[in-house]
Chains A and B, each alone.
Chain A
């Protein structure tokens, strides 16, 4: 049975707003990447999805703009995977130390994709290439 067929169309959870000040609701939709990973048996990438709520609620930094057409208002939340959300639900997920996790959202904070990344050599809380790949860092401000 496809588990997505009988479930809600989306999930909502609180996380840090792009301003970094208040909380806002984030959305994850099963359609799109999550469904693709499940359909293609990609356990590794699906396991990374356990980190999404943790990163969105406790990021190290938030950037806006992905330096290409149509993605100027997208956000990227970056943080250290902790596995806390998974642990709360009785699941142990692998933590790869030394890597940061990137969670991308659209302007309405709908999560689109996620992945691990090497950290910046100077500020290891931020991703490699953060100074060139994004439009601007919006939290924390300098």
Chain B
């Protein structure tokens, strides 16, 4: 049963009370088909680089805070078309090896080579370093 805004406010308060220390962890959101990845817990605003890639910059000093890769299904299908890529597993992001696509590979698809100039060299190096340990599991929503 749905509750109203008072319950929502109570939830936000309680969530804040029980939250632990910040942990940098990617998150795939099915509804929007986006992969959201915050590297730090600091107020941020978005900077849209391409239709598939947005970065988050700190309000305080414009330093890199996170990344959002959009249209993951399209990107995964494009990667799949490059070769023999199994698609039996749902999309997920993990920090372990296996039959997972490197997240940096996915990021570069989203960024596009022409757009490399749209972000600074420092931002690009930080993005590359932040995502290099993560892998994206192929989705069973991609057609065979």
Contact = CB atoms under 8 A, between A and B. Distances in A.
B38 A85 contact: no
Contact of A71 (B15, B33, B44, B45): B33
B138 interface: no
B10 to A, nearest CB: 8
B63 interface: no
B7 A8 contact: yes
Given A41-B21, A46-B16, A85 B9 contact: yes
Q: Which of A45, A67, A94 has the most CB of B within 10 A?
A: A45
Interface stretch (B66-74, B82-90, B117-125): B66-74
A3 B45 contact: no
Interface SS majority for chain B: mixed
A68 B74 contact: yes
B34 A53 contact: no
Nearest to B34: A113
Contact of B20 (A4, A30, A41, A113): A41
Nearest to A94: B43
B36 interface: yes
Contacts of A117: 45-46
Given A44-B41, A44-B43, A68-B51, A33 B27 contact: yes
B132 interface: no
Interface SS majority for chain A: mixed
Contacts of B48: 128-129, 133
Interface of B: 1-9, 11-16, 18-25, 27, 29-34, 36, 38, 41-48, 51-52, 56, 59, 70-71, 73-74
Given A74-B32, A94-B43, A112-B32, 11 more contacts: A8-B2, A8-B3, A13-B4, A44-B44, A49-B12, A68-B52, A88-B9, A96-B43, A106-B31, A113-B36, A116-B59
Interface of A: 1-4, 7-13, 27-28, 30, 32-34, 36, 38-47, 49-50, 53, 66-71, 74, 85-86, 88-89, 91, 94, 96, 99, 102, 104, 106, 110, 112-113, 115-118, 128-129, 133
